[in-house]
Chains A and B, each alone.
Chain A
Amino acid sequence: MIALQVLVSGLGLSGYYALVALGFSLIFATVKVFHVAHGTVFLAGGYLFFFLHRGLGVNLLVAALAGVAVAAALGLLIDKLVYLPVLRRGGGLFSVFIASLGVSLVFEAGYNLLSRNVLQVARTEPLTILTFGAVAIRVLDLFMAGLVAVVFGLAYLWLFRSTAGLEIRALTDNPALAGVVGVNVKRVRNTVFLVASALAGLAGVITAYDTGIVPDTGLRVLFIAVVAVILGGVQNLMLGTLVGSLCLGLLTAFAGLLFPPWVSVAVFLALILLIVVRPKGLFAT
């Protein structure tokens, strides 16, 4: 029975990873940037939500939307003010990665200053749970499952049934040729960063409400999401990301049960095993 309970917890966790992973995957696949600051964006959404809802008593939905919007804007700003200038000055993708790491560290220091590294949970009321025998399911987890289904459904329609999605997939396949055939690379890039950052912000908001956030939560969640993306196959934006997130959600949940201090080690081991056995991921294209 305990395995069933942990399975339920794992599925709940995988929802957060899926939202962050989808955004990271979008950015990495299209513009080839290893966007470490994606964790920063996740936290920006979470901290703003905490400040507005718990600090100022702002309505939950309004505070959540504000968190998502600010996260989206921050992600776009990071691209425009940091990544693009680096690229324009002849810096390669590795330079952009270093710049992203720098942004992430600067913001983490800022979050440390603001929060003093104290856990911030954006609610005081307990979550509603549904009990089925010995298994308790949090209503929030059901909401998360529904949200992920909607987000991935919409993402699928957007990527595979719209012109904008076609442009994104073109950029994913061949950025140079996409530009040549008339894809507005700049507009697609902006859209990708906005959408991906909004997804990270959404995950940050819900995490702040659920278990709370500390300044290193962003990097921790990002790390797991990245492993999920690699597991699923970097180029496989949808199914690969979703399956990878599910696997990592279950892995971290069971690791949390069996050897709690070694959850990060478990994820590392999974990554190493993956790189050795199937470096292109489960759904490599």
Chain B
Amino acid sequence: MTSHIETLNLTKRYDGLLALSQVSVRAPSENITAVVGVNGSGKTTLLRLLAGLDEPSEGTILIDARGVTAEELRNYCTMVFQKSIMLGGRVYDNIAYGLRINQVPRRDIAEKVKSALAIVNMDGFEKRKARKLSSGEQQRVAIARALALERAVVLIDEPTANLDPANATIIEQSIKEAARSRIVILTTHNLPQARRLSHRAVHLYQGRVVEEGETASFFANPRDERTKLFINGELQF
């Protein structure tokens, strides 16, 4: 079982523009790590690097203290996007897709799909057209799709942005469930949500980590002035 994922001095530039600078964070298993920060602080960039979607300009990503390439990362991590992306077809096909391409035996796929849908409280939705679901339901399917893969690391980008409270609650419960056996890293600018869900919190500001720590102390006694301002909703960006 994977015990932790960490980044060492991770830097990412897009066309010369610095998106992340010298980011070193650590996320242990069976924990939820919340990456918080204002828009444009580098949260999604960090997740994309961890997901193996982009190569870092500098720095290393380690899993259990072993440096891994972007290609290897894609075997450890999966990602849920802020805007859920549904493939054409049924809910079942959406969740089964990742299982099929990862050569999960056909006889196991139906069971895994069912289990994943149960986690997001969508039992019996297998035959529904994925693109006809509400945005909240689509996001729950996206989470189920990620969980069905049983990857060690689940990266979740702004999971409940623009969702109604009912769907947001179910998604938060699903994330907690996922973290029982996985490393979960989520980005959010919803501070109450980060406080409710996470064990650890990381504050990114202008591509740099300005504060990191246990969630309780992070919110109760922030050390960095920018974190204090951010928590109070006064940080300019």
* A and B part of one assembly: no
